[in-house]
Structure formats: C-alpha cells, structure tokens
Structure 1
Amino acid sequence: MRTTMGDEKPDQVSTELSAGMSSLRRAIETLSSLISVSHSVKVFAAKWQSIRGKLEELNAGLIATEHCEYSSENPAVAGLASAIFITANESYNLARRCVDLSYSGKLLMQSDLNVILTKLDRFLKDLSDMYTAGILTHGYALVVLKPGPGACKDDMRFYVGDLWTRMKVGDTEMKRQALVNLYEVVVEDEKYVKVMLEVDDVVNVLVSSLDSPETEIQEESAKVISVIAGFESYKGILVGAGVIYPLIRVLECGSVLGKEIAVRCLKKLTENSDNAWSVSAHGGVTTLLKICAGVDFRGELVGLACGVLINLIGVEEIKRFVVEEGAISMYIKLARSKNEELQRIAIEFLQSAAFGDDSIREMVIREGGIPTLVRIIDPEWSYSLKTREIALKAIENLCFSSKSAVKGLMDNGFVDHIIYLIRYGEVSVQELALKVAYRLCGTSEEAKKAMGDAGFMPELVKFLNAKSFEVREMASEALSCMILLPKNRKRFVQDDRNVGLLLEMLDSQEGYSGSRSFLFSILMSLSSCKSVKRKIVNSGYLRNIEELAQAGVSDAKRLVKKLSTNRFRIMLSGIWHS
C-alpha cells in the first residue's frame, strides 16, 4: 500500500488497516506507507534518512517474520507488531508536521525524532532476540520472491532489503540462505551490486559476518564481498568499512574454502597499491608468507597468496621485508614444484621482486634461480608451452645481468636447449628463444663460439625473411654479432648457400629499408673475406647493389666502396660499364 502526504490521515489509516487484518500485517502495511511518506520530508534530512533506513530494515524484518511458522499465533510477535504499529503512527504525525513546517520548534522536533530512532532500534533488537532465542523458526516460505529479469530498481531494492534484514535478525540458517541468495543476484546482474550498496549499512553487515563463528556464514559473506571487490569504484567502500582485517583473520583461521575466497578478495583489493599498507599493518604479509611456505596448503591457495604478495611488493618497504623473510629461496623452491601453475606464479614473483633491483637479481641467481629456469626449457622435460614462455621471459630479464650469470646459463646446457627450441618449438617459443639467443651472443666471445659450434647461424639465416620486422631485426643483429668472430665467419662462408641467400633476400627487400640495412651490415662484415667478395661480384645481384648505391642508399655505397678495393675495382668497373 502506497500513500502520498495529504491523501489520508493517520487515524483513517489505522482504522482501515485494523479491519480484518492481523497485527503483524497491519504493522507491515503502516510501515510501508510511512516509508513512502518519509521521502517527502525535506527538513532534518539526516535524521529522516536514519529513520527511513531503520523503517526499511524493520519492515523487511516483519515481512520475514510473517513467513515464519506459527508467527501469527505467537503473542510475543503480536505484542511487538502492535508496538511498532503505534510508533509508526507517531512517526507519521511527525512526518506530516515536518512537511507542513508546522512544528513548534526545531529543538523539540529533534528531540521527538531522537525518541523515534531509539524506539526503532529497540524494536530491531527485540526482533533479533526472538530469532536468537528460537521463538521464530523459518518455514518453507523463507525468502521474498526474487524479481524477474528487467525488474525495476524499487523491486530490486525491496528484495535486497529483505535479504539484508534476514542477514541481521535471522538465525544461522536464515542468514546463510540470505547470503546465498544475495550472492546469486549480484553474480547474475551487476545492477544488484549498486542497489545493494545503496541500502544503509549493508556493507557493515557483510563485513561483520566475516567474524561469524559459523563457517558457512564466513564463506558466504566472503563470496559476496569478493564480487563487490571486483568493481574498482567500490573497493574504497569495502576498505572504508574495515574489510581488510576480517579478511586476514579468515585467512588465518577460516576453512580452506574461506581462506581461498578471502585471499581472492585481498588480491582484488591490493591491485590498488594504496591498500597494500593496510594489509601489512594488520599482519597480512606474514600470514601470506606462511601460506606460501606451508606444505599443508592446497596449490590453489598458495598460488592466490603468491598473487597477493606480487601486488604488495610494489611497495618498496614491503618488498624489503618480504625478501628479508627469505622469500627469494622460498619462491625458487616453488618454481621447482610439480604444479605448473605454482611454478608460473613463483617465477612471476621473482621477476617482479628483481625488477630494477640488481641486488635481488643477484640473490635470485645465487639461490639457484638459473638451473631452475633452464630446466623448464630443457626439451627432455615435459612442460607446457605457457610455462616455457614464462621461463624464457624470466631468463631474459634475470640472467644477463653479469658474466657469472651468463656462465651459469652456459654451464647448465642453455645453448643446446635454445637451439632446439629455435628449430622445433612453437612460434611463440621460437621468437622468445631467438630473443634470448640475441641477448646471449652479445655477452662474450665464449658465447659466440658456443653458439657457432651449436649451429645457430643457419637457423638465424632462416629468420632473416620472417614476416615480423622484430624477428628479422633480432636475427640479423644476432648474426652480425656472431660473424664478428673469425671462426664463425669462416664457418658461415663455407656454405655457399648462405651468402647467396643473403643476396637473394637483399634483392627482395626493396620495400623494407630497415631489414635491408641489417642485410647490408652482415654483408659488410663478411666482405672482409676475399672469397665472399668474389661471390658477391660474380653473383647476379651486384647490379642491384650498384643501383641502390647510385640511388643514394648509404649502406649500399659503403659495401660498393669496400668491394671496389684492389683488384676487385677492375672487375666492378667492367660490370658497371657493360
């Protein structure tokens, strides 16, 4: 029943509702009318907002009570409903005077409104006590029917309000079921999340439910909070309600499922680094480290805890604390786990911790990071494509920081593993392997020699004609670097096909000035060999090089100049003027 101010007087409402109606139903209808009327009040706005919130909570509570078994026959329920009905009529009179501005004084009206608030608080406590004492027991008609798809906001709000009241005043089973139903609607339709947060005190009720001694209540409330935490604009509301500490307590003492849900919440909340300090202040870092180090925890929980710590170490002071607590050796151990998901997230942690920090990078190497990573790319071990990709990226980021690190790579069979991946790996792994090969050949003469002996140069030549400019660039630079070593240069030119292939690619690269530049660079290095000069001069591609030189291509000019020395000058002159 809905009314507007002025349509009916409170006495009329009371008389009409009394006829043929139980005290409980009469109180519910009167509260509904009063809630509607309260929206017309413009003065004492804060007071009326508080009153309206309690009226809505009480109304939803009475509706829930109406669905309880034998509630209409219970004298305690009837007495409470009658008292609420009387107070609702008193409130109606106050609302009318506030709308009409017919009250005698502000202080007296404020006092009257405070009295109403006190009475409403007492009614809510009395209702809650009835559930606690077992006076009310829920029957099969427990929950108000969920609105259908496309329901209006008022219907959604009413439904959420009913669930919220059950969460506050119901017994354990009623609270659990209310949380289950609330989770269902916020997962199905994100509009319910916004509606839910507009209901006064709902977040505080959810947060307080995390401290429930009942495991199921903890778990169900954590699930709802996890949904809210997924919205960037609502994270501040949760943190402001003090959700961090209860989540950490669940992480310490809750069930396995409760811990997993709690850590998911923390992972979402700590994506904002501003919340990292709150987790640290409540002992969350130590709790997370304990989970990661524990052998009794499930892999999924450990992985989630690692994810939270990755978020937290974005704060330098927290990272230092984590490292001092032995996190590096712990995560290297996790990187050797049989669980690939744990391996991947452990490697991600090590990269995050070492980013921009040489001391931590050296610690990773010193604690055994290199053999751990190299083993993952070893073809003899069966690892997924994703895990190998992550290991290759980590090697690139962590293992080229010093000569000792490069030596560690080579001592662990890195060169043989990389050439295998370049030859036979999936495309994504091939490109990553090529990238680390490019990095390796620029580190030392020993690395260039080992790569030459392993057969890298023919494989690099194949990539010179790749579709990806980045791949062509890496391959050509790596090849240019390798042939600076005389032994490699000699090995390269021994295969007649190599120089011919370079010239052929140069001829087909007219539209690719960047790639063409790299090819010229390689030919410049090779042309220090007389046999290569001869091959170039006698090839059918010399005319193309000469034309590029005449067109002002500087790389072509330099190559022609180098080819024009000594007795090759006569040969070239004959070719140019033929």
Structure 2
Amino acid sequence: MHPSTPTITAQPSRPPPPPSPDKPPQTFLDLITSVLSLLLVSSLTVRSFIGRWQVIRTKLTSLQSSLSLLSDSPHWSQNPLLHTLLPSLLSTLQRLQSLSHQCTLSSFPGGKLLFQSDLDIASSSLSNHLHDLDLLLKSGVLHQSNAIVLSHPGPSSDKEELAFFVRDLFTRLQIGGVEFKKKALDSLIQILNDDEKSASLVAEEGSVGCLISLLDSHNERSIQEQAVLAVSILASGSDEARKTVFEEGGLGPLLRILDTGSMLLKEKAAIAIEVITAEPENGWAISAYGGVSLLIEACRSGSEATQTYAVGAIRNVAVVEDIKMALAEEGAVPVLVHLLVSGASAAQEKAAHCMAILASSGEYFRMLIIQEKGLQRLMDVIQSMPSSDTIEHVMRAISSLSVSDSTARILSSSTLFITRLSEFTKEGSLILQQISVSLLASLSISDGNKRAISGCVASLVKLMEVPKPAGIQEAATAALVSLLTVRSNRKELVRDEKSVMKLVQMLDPKRELVSKRFPVMVVVAVLTGGSGECRKRLLDAGAYQHLQRLEEMEVAGAKKAVQRLAGNKLKNIFSRTWRE
C-alpha cells in the first residue's frame, strides 16, 4: 500500500508589492488595469458572500468606465492629485484580489465575521476612490494642462477661466491631502478677497458643502481656521453666496465654533453668523440650532470683535417673534444694556438697535429694560455723543419706553434730556428730528424747560413744511403749539421774520404742501394771551387774508384766528381815526 499522499491546501496568493510612489502615473494605471481585469473574472467564481461580490462587481465595472475616461483625458497624467489617488486605488484592488481568492476557496482563517468586516472595508474604500475619480472627471481639470492648475487667474481672466480655477480648488479640497487642502484654501481666500464678484461664482461652481464640512473640529486646526475664514468671506460676498452657505447647513457648524472654538475662530464664525442671519428667513434657524444662548454668551464673554458681530446677529433675529421671548428668558437684556455703555462703538450701535426692537415689542420687554436700568443707560448714551446712527436707535428705544407714565415723568423732568431733544430738532437727521419732535409734543414739559429750548422754535416751523416721513408735520405742529404756551416763546417766533413768513405762506390756500389746520393751530397759539405785537406781526405779513379764505373753506380753528386778528384790526382803525 502506497503511503498516503499529503493534502496540499492552496494558499491565497500574496499581492505583489506596490511600485514606488514616485513612479509615473502611467505605471500605476497599467497595473490597476491589469488587476481590475483579473478581479472582474474572479468576482464571478466566488463561492462565499456572493451578494456582496455582486455589489463589488458593479463598482468594478464603474471603475473600468472611469479609468477609460481618465486615459482619454489629454492631461490626466499631469494632475498631482493622481499621484496619491492611483497608488491608493491599486492597493485597494490588490486587497480585493486577495479577498476574492479566499472566497473562491471558502478559506477564512480568522473566521467569517472578521473576513466580512475586511471585505466591507475594502468595498467602502473602492467606493471612495470611485467618488474621487468621478469628481476629477466631472470637474474638467484633467482636460487642462497642469501648467495653469492653481495659478491664480489674473485681472484679464474671463469667467470660464475663473470657473475652471474654482472647480480645481474644490476638487483638491475633496480629494487632496492636508497640503493640497491648505494650498486650495489659501487660493480660495485670495480670490474671494481680490474679486468682490467672485463669491457668486464660487457659490455656483464650487462644492460649498465640502467647504462647510471642513469646519468640523476633527479637521486639522490650520485647515479649520482657513475654512472658517473662507466661509465668512464667502457668506459676506453676495446674497447668492449667503443663501448657499445657509442651505448647505453652514449655520450649525458656525454656532458650534462660536461655542467651543479658539478666539480667532469665534471671531470669524461670528462674522458669518451675523451675515447669514441678516436674511430674515434664516433667523428662525438660530433657535433651531440652540444658538440664542450661544450668541448671548459670546456677547458676554467674547473678544471685542466677537461681541460686535454676535450682538449684530442678535439684532438680526430679534425681529423673529419666537426668538424675542427666548432672548428675554436667556438673559439678553442685561447683556445688551452692558454693551450699550461698555462695548465698542459698533457694538453700542447694534445693542441700541436691538433694544429699540425689543422696547417696541410690548410692555413685558419695556419692563425688563427698565428693571435693568436701561432707561438711564440710554439717556447717558445720548449725552456721550456717539454716532448719529446709534443716537437714532437710542431715541427709538426711549420713545417706545416713554409710553409708560413713570418713564414719561422721568423724561419730562430731565432738563438735560429736554435740551438734547431741542438740539436734535435743530441739527439731527430727519429721522432723529421726527423722534425728537414727537417726544417734545407728547411729554409734559415745564414752562422753565420750554423757555430753555426756545431756540428750536424756528426749526419746528421749518419741519412743518417737511412732507416726509409721514407724521412729522403733525408732530412738529403739536410740539410748537406746546412751546407756545409760554409767552416768551410766542414773542421769539414773531420776531423771527423768516419763521413768520413761512407760517403765513403755509396759510395760503394755493399752497397744498401742508394741511391748513396745522398753521392755523400755530396762529391760534401765537395769538393766545392777546399780545398786540404778535397780532401786528401776523397782520403785517398778510395772514389775515389767508385766514379769511380758510374760514370760508371751514378749516378748523380758522374762524377763531380771524376773530382775534380782526378784533385787533378794528381797534387799530379806531385808533387811527381818533388821532386824525
């Protein structure tokens, strides 16, 4: 009997070692093509995990098509991204070849579970390579000579050259390693800074979602910093770019950076957040991401720059009804009051604007502001002479707070405040003038303070002729009538020839710029007290004839004004007759 022949177990062939990475790309492509051909055949003969191999075979077929398109591209071998992509792809295919051999023999030394895991990992790697190849092919960069890749387009570059440059940058961001990403981000930031029109093109041609993914903390810090800066500049560049950043989910990662990032990252993130929330339709998302408390904390403890942008974002979302209550509950009001007096000038303006929005939103918010000594802080800001824009917001807030009787009493008794109202009426912007005259008309000002601000009488007469904004003529008239309850102010008005002429011209029925009841109200107020000097000045200026016509037109108050002027006119006639 012959001795038994020993059984020989076939061992899976080991894949040959990969060529050196510095070999030409063509060498790798040839090897990949060879291994791929073998895999397509061996994937049909496997006896285990057949379902998984059917999926892998579909991917291998797609890879075959992609490689064909790659080799047809005229400048594919010059693209530096392939210097890392092709060796990695070859390694994955060689691993799959080894695994297919094991499945053909149904040999799993480490067990089926471990083998299944290895097979899934290799399949996933193949999917990633297919994705990267697809990106390269779709970008069109393989059809361009590498000589212009990453060369910054000059001022004379056309839109197509710029678009190609952008596509190349985003291809490198998605496929390349750390150094590729850094260089691509540098170039992206440069082009966004150099050309203000480039933001829309980047939003259109680039994969903004890929850029936003680089904001995650698991990325290298230098890449994350560059990505935050790029997103910030991009979002600020155009409405289209801002919309794209928001729609690609940029707000959530930016808020996370505002919460946990470095000081520099927080500042850049705050810039982008303020820009994104400037679009009213985006404001609701702050609450959805839990961003209200993060913005308040950034205002409380952030750097000066972070505070300025964060309070700007709060101002943007304060108009959203649901967020207003969250701002109150999370303690935004004391933070805003603090920034109003201690923040940078830009932060002061935005804090004042936000307080004006909240103060106009109902009694609850007005009570919170007053409880936090907000009224006194607002009055202090007026005396410190900040920018005109800040004063306008402060005055809006004060005007809203003044609906409270207790607040109105405080304002009415402050000579400094009343004096500032007079100054704003004379020298402020049109909006500031309107707010100021409205307050002068509504507050109960003492006679002493009315005499102290007699210098604004002429300005009030001028404002009676201003058609816009709506309501300013009526407010100026009411404020003037209030000041004219003091005799010295009535004399102040009639001694100003220009003011008298303006008033009489406003009485002329032919002039339709001003409602006639307004100048009539002022004439009646001027004639209160029976001053002969006031009557004489108005008569000499020609007021009587206009008032007679207005009486015939049944304008309110015209009859009373005519009677007062006529009585004086008859007295003058009798006086002249007696002397004669």
Is the 8 Å Cα contact of residues 481 and 522 (structure 2) preserved in structure 1? yes
- In the other structure, the counterpart of 1:399 is 401
1:210 aligns with 215
Q: What residue number does 1:93 align with?
A: none
What code does the residue aligned with 1:546 have? Q
Matched residue type, 1:549? Q
Please say if 1:185 is aligned against 2:191. Answer: yes
| 1:118-170 deviations in Å (ceiling 9; x for gaps) | 85733677999xxxxxxxxxxx9995323444545554444333322322333
Distance 1:496 1:124 in 2: 82
Distance 1:146 1:81 in 2: 34
> How far, CA to CA, are the matches of 1:265 and 1:289 in structure 2?
16
Output the CA distance in 1 between the equivalents of 2:26 and 2:154: 25
| Identical-pair percentage | 22
Match of 1:358 in 2: 363
Q: 1:83 to 1:145 in 2, by over 3 A?
A: farther
Match of 2:271 among 264, 268, 272: 264
Deviation at 1:181, TM superposition (A): 0.6
CA contact (8 A) 2:150 2:168 kept: yes
Which of 434, 456, 459 in structure 1 is aligned with 2:456?
459
Listed as ranges, the gaps of 5+ residues in structure 2 are: 1-22, 33-60, 95-121, 136-145
1:442 match: 442
Matched, 1:549 2:548: yes
Asked whether 1:315 is paired with 2:320, we answer: yes
How far the C-alpha of 1:450 sits from its partner, in A, is 4.5
- CA-atom RMSD, angstroms? 4.7
Seen in structure 2, the aligned counterparts of structure 1 residues 432 and 311 have a Cα distance that, compared at 3 Å, is: closer
CA distance in 2, matches of 1:28, 1:125: 15
What are the Cα deviations for residues 85-135 of structure 1, in whole angstroms up to 9, with x where unaligned?
xxxxxxxxxxxxxxxxxxxxxxxxxxxxxx99985733677999xxxxxxx
Normalising by structure 1, report the TM-score.
0.68
Unpaired stretches in structure 1, ≥5 consecutive residues = 1-21, 32-46, 85-114, 129-139
Q: TM-score, normalised by structure 2?
A: 0.67
Is the Cα contact below 8 Å between 1:563 and 1:569 reproduced in 2?
A: no
Change (3 A) 1:27 1:63: farther
> 2:523 is aligned with what amino acid?
L
Matched, 1:491 2:496: no
What is the rounded CA distance, in whole Å, between the counterparts of 1:28 and 1:145 in structure 2? Answer: 27
Distance 1:268 1:403 in 2: 38
- Aligned partner of 1:300 in structure 2 is 305
The equivalent of 1:10 in structure 2 is none
Letter in 1 for 2:209: N
Letter in 2 for 1:181: S
Change (3 A) 1:320 1:217: same
Cα deviation code 1:177-196 (max 9, x no counterpart): 11111222344446755554
Check conservation: 1:24, 1:78, Cα contact below 8 A.
no
Please tell me the residue identity of whatever aligns with 1:404.
Answer: S
1:338 Cα offset (Å): 5.1
Equivalent residues in 2 for 1:236-255 (5 A)?
236-255=243-262
Question: Which structure has the larger Rg?
Answer: 2
Q: Deviations over 1:358-395 (max 9, x none)?
A: 221232123212211111222xx453444334323332
Residue matched to 1:172: 178
Tell me the SS of whatever aligns to 2:151: coil
Q: Distance in 1 between matches of 2:283 and 2:537?
A: 67
1:531 maps to 2:531:
yes
Query: What is the aligned partner in structure 2 of residue 414 from structure 1?
Result: 417
For residue 302 of structure 1, report the CA deviation from its aligned partner: 0.6
1:65 CA displacement: 2.5
Cα 1:538/1:373, change in 2 over 3 Å: closer
Counterparts of 1:61-210 in structure 2, within 5 Å, are 63-65=78-80, 77=87, 80=90, 121-122=128-129, 144-149=150-155, 151=157, 155-189=161-195, 193=199, 196-197=202-203, 202-210=207-215
1:443 alignment partner AA: L
CA contact (8 A) 1:520 1:559 kept: no
Query: Is this contact kept in 1: 2:421–2:440, CA < 8 A?
Result: no
Give the distance between the partners of 1:82 and 1:439, measured in 2 at CA.
77
Does the CA contact (< 8 Å) of 2:357 and 2:397 recur in 1? no
Hey, what's the Cα distance between the residues in 2 that align with 1:54 and 1:226?
40
Counterpart CA distance in 1 for 2:336 and 2:192 is 36
Change (3 A) 1:416 1:53: farther
- Counterpart in 1 of 2:563? 562
* Residue pairs, 1:359-378, within 5 angstroms: 359-378=364-383
